[in-house]
Amino acid sequence: MKKITIAIDGYSSTGKSTVAKQLADYLGYVYVDSGAMYRAVTLYAMQEGIISKDNFNVEKLKESLNSIDLKFEKDASWAKAHIFLNGKDVEELIRNLEVSAFVSPIATVHEVRAKLVAQQQKMGLDKGVVMDGRDIGTVVFPKAELKIFMNASANERAQRRYKELVARGDNIDFQAVLSNIQERDHIDTTRTDSPLRKAADAIEIDNSEMNLEDQFHTVLQLAKDRIAGRI
């Protein structure tokens, strides 16, 4: 069967990674969580004292980029994929609210983006890839055969993320999650380099009222139609 490239972009907590993983498992494609890569670079910067509440040493970050090695490992399904930072599994660590607080400033740095975009493009060379993020349809794979842009209300997105963090035992309050989402939306859409935008040829899906199953079937139908050349 013809293999295509599927780019899924959109705002935080719209369900991009959930649907991307389901799609990759169903189609036998590779899944790449580009957000996890920005999060892992952020964790490295936090651990090295490059970024904190009152300090962001952009020059040191740029000098350190060659010391950052990122790899993904897949388990039985993409739902269990893990990211490794310099050989260490950091899948759990990168999901906390502290990393979320620093990731968008880190992702404004051109050199960080250039490094990660080059690695992402390499991972998609053979097609048969589903990648989710903010700039996949606009910058990483502008020629992707299928581009999806996901959206949902900020309140719905914050509720979803809050539930997820509480379920893993994080001690946080809803307002902090909502503020973080709104702040990241702002930084991600207004940065100079590769701002979050819907690509002109992307199909927009608002899933505020959709459950995971509806969302998956909607996207899967689009993928099947595109692979078969029906759309």
- Which positions touch ligand CDP (CB under 6 A)? 12-18, 34-35, 38-39, 103-104, 107, 132-136, 160-161, 164, 184, 188, 207, 210-212, 215
Query: With respect to ligand CDP, which residue has the nearer C-beta, 16 or 226?
Result: 16
User: Least Å distance between CB 81 and ligand CDP?
Assistant: 12
User: Least Å distance between CB 82 and ligand CDP?
Assistant: 14
Query: With respect to ligand CDP, which residue has the nearer C-beta, 108 or 228?
Result: 108
Contact status, residue 200 vs residue 144, Cβ threshold 8 Å:
no
Residue with tokens 């993904």: 72
Q: C-alpha 74: how far from its chain's center?
A: 16
Is there a binding annotation on residue 162?
no
Tell me the residue nearest to ligand CDP as measured from the CB: 35
User: Least Å distance between CB 48 and ligand CDP?
Assistant: 18
User: Least Å distance between CB 136 and ligand CDP?
Assistant: 6
d(CA 112, CA 56): 14
Cα angle for residues 80, 81, 87 (degrees, 5° grid): 130
**What are the start-end ranges of the H helices in the chain?**
16-27, 34-47, 58-64, 97-106, 110-123, 154-167, 174-190, 212-227
- Binding site as annotated, residues for ATP: 10-18
